[in-house]
């Protein structure tokens, strides 16, 4: 089984020294560099390239520069999807966003998990867990979402939060670690 196959199955894999994965990361970083260099006024060109970068998109999406990812093909976004400036998605596992998702500036979505033991970590072995964000979610600026997290539909994640565990639907959640503090009632 290839290291890529192991990565996609969530099994431990060689992240640093595998040639196939290194080549894929290099290629997508070139594409992200190109995307980030296209002037905002060239919207059609930007839209065309971001749809090549991402694994699955619907029609309406807008991603501000700068945007970075590891592979691209593990990222799925829904309709009316928006990311503000300086987003990083480390998509060693699937990162899936629903419809009507708004993400503030300086956010990170990290699927990779590294061993705690330094000797093992130094071998380059890691594994990854997926991240899922439901429909109608607003993620404030400076939020970090860690591996294996699901954010339920209709929820709002407060600025600066670090999401370490699942967040239910229709709540306001804030903090480090991020916790639900309020249920969202219709017309709030």
CATH number at residue 71: 2.160.10.10
Task: Give CA–CA dist 13/144, Å, rounded.
Answer: 24
Q: Looking at the domain assignment, is residue 146 inside a domain?
A: yes
Question: What integer pLDDT is reported at residue 183 of this predicted model?
Answer: 96
**Domain-located, residue 23:** yes
Question: CA dist 126 to 53, 81, 109, 167, Å?
Answer: 23, 30, 16, 25
Q: What is the pLDDT of residue 31?
A: 98
Residue 62 catalytic? no
Active-site pick, 52, 56, 62, 114: 114
82 within domain boundaries: yes
Residue at 188 is within a domain: no
27 domain residue, yes or no: yes
Phi, psi of 21 (to 5 degrees): -65, -40
**Total domains in the fold of the chain:** 1
Is 38 inside a domain boundary? yes
Domain assignment present for 166: yes
For 8, the enclosing helix (H) or strand (E) is helix 3-8
**Residue 117: predicted pLDDT:** 94
Residue 75 counted as domain residue? yes
Give the model's pLDDT for residue 16: 84
Closest Cα partner for 79 from 103, 55, 62? Answer: 62
What pTM was computed for the model?
Answer: 0.95
- Residues of the chain below pLDDT 70: 188
Tell me, what's the pLDDT at 104?
Answer: 98
| Segments forming the whole domain that contains residue 132 | 3-183
């Amino acid at each position: 089984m290839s290291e890529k196959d192991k990565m996609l199955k969530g099994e431990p894999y060689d992240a640093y020294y595998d040639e196939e994965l290194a080549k894929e990361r290099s290629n997508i970083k070139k594409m992200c560099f190109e995307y980030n260099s296209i002037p905002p006024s060239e919207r059609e060109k930007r839209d065309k390239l971001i749809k090549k970068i991402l694994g699955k998109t619907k029609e309406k999406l807008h991603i501000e520069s700068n945007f970075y990812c590891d592979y691209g093909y593990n990222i799925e976004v829904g309709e009316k999807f928006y990311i503000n400036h300086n987003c990083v998605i480390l998509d060693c596992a699937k990162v899936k966003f629903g419809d009507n998702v708004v993400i503030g500036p300086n956010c990170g979505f990290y699927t990779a998990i590294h061993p705690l033991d330094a000797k093992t970590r130094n071998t380059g072995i890691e594994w990854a867990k997926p991240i899922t964000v439901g429909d109608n979610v607003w993620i404030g600026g400076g939020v970090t979402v860690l591996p294996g997290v699901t954010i339920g539909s209709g929820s709002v994640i407060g600025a600066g939060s670090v999401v370490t565990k699942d967040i239910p639907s229709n709540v306001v959640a804030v903090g480090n670690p991020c916790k639900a503090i309020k249920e969202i009632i219709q017309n709030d």
